[in-house]
Structure 1
Amino acid sequence: MTVNARNRTDADATETADAADATTTVVLDTNALMMPVELDVRVFEELDRLLAARTDLVIPTAVAEELTKLSAGAGAEAVAASVGSDLATDRCRAVDTEATYADDAIVELAERGCDFVVTNDKPLRNRLLERGVRVIGIRGRDKLDITEP
């Protein structure tokens, strides 16, 4: 009887350690990285609040390229893209995809098996939800929330 109790405790400890080691993969869209400037949303703090897990923040290289192109322009969008590019460089891991268009690249990564995608792009959001992907987007003025498929 003591052996069974010990085995159960060891198994519980292993499950707890595995859960602590688990990483949540989050793919960010171009507009998600521009939210801090455009919408005054603290994206990374909001992700910490929502997910309360260790996260692997990922962007497709197509998103990095889109941010670079947008930041070469002028005006508020260029500033937001420049800040987004800096955030992506500092906080995210860039991943190559076969798709070269940013939205298609995000769908490709989602289909490879991510846990969440952060976007405010409604057509992209709908494509992801149709594929069973959980989407994180703006709710209210400056908060993020999860939409289940």
Structure 2
Amino acid sequence: MKTKLAASKKVGLKVIFDANFFFIPIQFNLDIFEELEKLLKKRYEPILLSSTKKELQGLAESTSTKTSKQALNAINLVEKCSFVPVEKSSTETYDDVIVRVATESKIPVATNDRNLRKRLRQSGVAVIYMRQKQRLVLDGSV
């Protein structure tokens, strides 16, 4: 089930986005795309895995009005990302897919999920996350 992220015509580094990362602009009024470019000091290509898109769609159909509304706003942001189809086995969680793809491809991940960040760092994958509700930070090297 190895996933290859094809070389793209866009210049720069690839960064896989976790679903919760798309909630930052809604919750904290921070432009994640602009802030990420400032942090990395270079152009980058935001990557949306098919499993993450499915997760966002599931959240949009949530019974919680707040979660549903935030997920619908997040889905609008995914238009700025390059879509990468990946396979998800029935035993894998959405986070498992991100860890697998990021580890195989050596691509940093943007997430605010503390447990996912820990798993990624243990696998040697760089992680970008929000700190103090106002800025993005990089843990690891790209």
Shorter-chain TM-score tier:
0.7 to 0.9
Q: Which runs of 5+ in 2 are unaligned?
A: 1-9
| Contact in 2 for aligned 1:24/1:56 (Cα 8 Å) | yes
Alignment partner of 1:41: what SS?
A: coil
Residues 1:78 and 2:68 are matched in the alignment? yes
Report matched runs for 1:36-115 at 5 Å.
Answer: 36-73=25-62, 74-88=64-78, 90-99=79-88, 101-115=93-107
Matches of 2:58 and 2:108, distance apart in 1:
25
> 1:131 Cα deviation (Å)?
0.7
Give the superposition deviation at 1:22: 5.1
Contact preservation (8 Å) 2:11, 2:45: no
Q: Tell me which protein shows more helix as a share of its residues.
A: 1
Give 1:129's match in structure 2, choosing from 121, 130, 135: 121
Distance in 1 separating the partners of 2:97 and 2:49 = 6
RMSD: 1.8
Match of 1:18 in 2: none
TM-score by length of 2: 0.81
Separation of aligned partners in 2, 1:94 and 1:106:
14
Q: Tell me the TM-score normalized by structure 1.
A: 0.78
| CA distance in structure 1 between the partners assigned to 2:27 and 2:133 by the alignment | 12
Q: Provide the identity percentage.
A: 30
Q: Which has the larger radius of gyration?
A: 1
Q: Secondary structure at the match of 1:46?
A: helix
